Amino acid sequence: MTYQIDINNAFLHGDLSPPVYMQQPPGFSTDSTLVCRLNKAIYGLKQAHRTWFQKLSTTLLHLGFVASQSDTSLFTRFTQSHTIFILIYVDDILVIGSSLFLVQDFIKQLSLYFALKDLGPLHYFLGIEVSWHKNNSIHLSQAKYIKDLIRRTNMVNSKPQPSPIFSSLRLTADESVSVDDPTLY
């Protein structure tokens, strides 16, 4: 089972150490000598990413997970009968487990620590569409991401052009062929 969750206001969970002070927001006070001491990280703060990840990883370790030594965004928990993997990208999290009950139980446990959205079974993650098939295989596609990118860059009516290079071509450092008209690309 693969589920996706999203942590609400993730950066606001980070604990700051040492203390961070900031100027008062415009209109908050007329006394320019006063400053604010932040109790929690806020969006735009340099430390926000690090403090959030530190808070999340400490929580996962407390729940019995082990951090991967080869990938800092991967946490695992193995028992005799079940396995669960947690893959993190900032505040978007994939939960992959050997049973549906295990995955749902983990999401319930994590919701005790953080406000989160259970997005259900994985369908779309970081620009990748995921289609599940009856034979337990999956199909990954970036068609939606590419179409959105084309729309966002106002290239919907652009004409396709062939690639200036053959995929089977072997390139070397000392020989190359220039393109006849580089403006096509």
DSSP assigned state of 98: S
Q: Please report the pLDDT score of residue 1 as a whole number.
A: 81
Q: Please report the pLDDT score of residue 43 as a whole number.
A: 75
Q: Is 31 inside any structural domain?
A: no
Domain with 107, as residue range(s), is 1-20+36-120
Q: Which of 100, 120, 140 is the last residue of a domain?
A: 120
> Two tokens at 59?
């929580």
Q: Is 12 inside any structural domain?
A: yes
**What's the whole-model pTM score?**
0.71
Distance in angstroms (rounded) separating the CA atoms of residues 105 and 67 = 20
Q: Is 26 inside any structural domain?
A: no
Cβ(1)–Cβ(85) under 8 Å?
no
Q: Please report the pLDDT score of residue 58 as a whole number.
A: 93
**Residue 81 sits in the same domain as residue 99:** yes
First-residue to last-residue Cα distance in the chain? 43
Q: Please report the pLDDT score of residue 176 as a whole number.
A: 66
**Residue 144 sits in the same domain as residue 104:** no
**Residue 129 sits in the same domain as residue 43:** no
**pLDDT beneath 50: ranges in the chain:** none
The number of distinct structural domains making up the chain is: 2
Q: Please report the pLDDT score of residue 17 as a whole number.
A: 80
Q: Is 168 inside any structural domain?
A: no
**Residue 9 sits in the same domain as residue 70:** yes
Cβ(71)–Cβ(39) under 8 Å?
no
**Residue 62 sits in the same domain as residue 45:** yes
**Residue 72 sits in the same domain as residue 150:** no
Q: Is 181 inside any structural domain?
A: no
Q: Is 40 inside any structural domain?
A: yes
Q: Please report the pLDDT score of residue 112 as a whole number.
A: 94
| CATH code: domain of residue 74 | 3.30.310
**Residue 52 sits in the same domain as residue 105:** yes
DSSP 134-176: TTS-EEEE-HHHHHHHHHHTT-TTPPP---SS-TTPPPBTTB-
Q: Please report the pLDDT score of residue 10 as a whole number.
A: 80
Q: Please report the pLDDT score of residue 93 as a whole number.
A: 92
**Residue 153 sits in the same domain as residue 108:** no
Q: In what order do the strands lie in the sheet with 66-67?
A: 66-67, 74-78, 83-89, 92-97, 2-7, 116-121
> Two tokens at 48?
């926000």
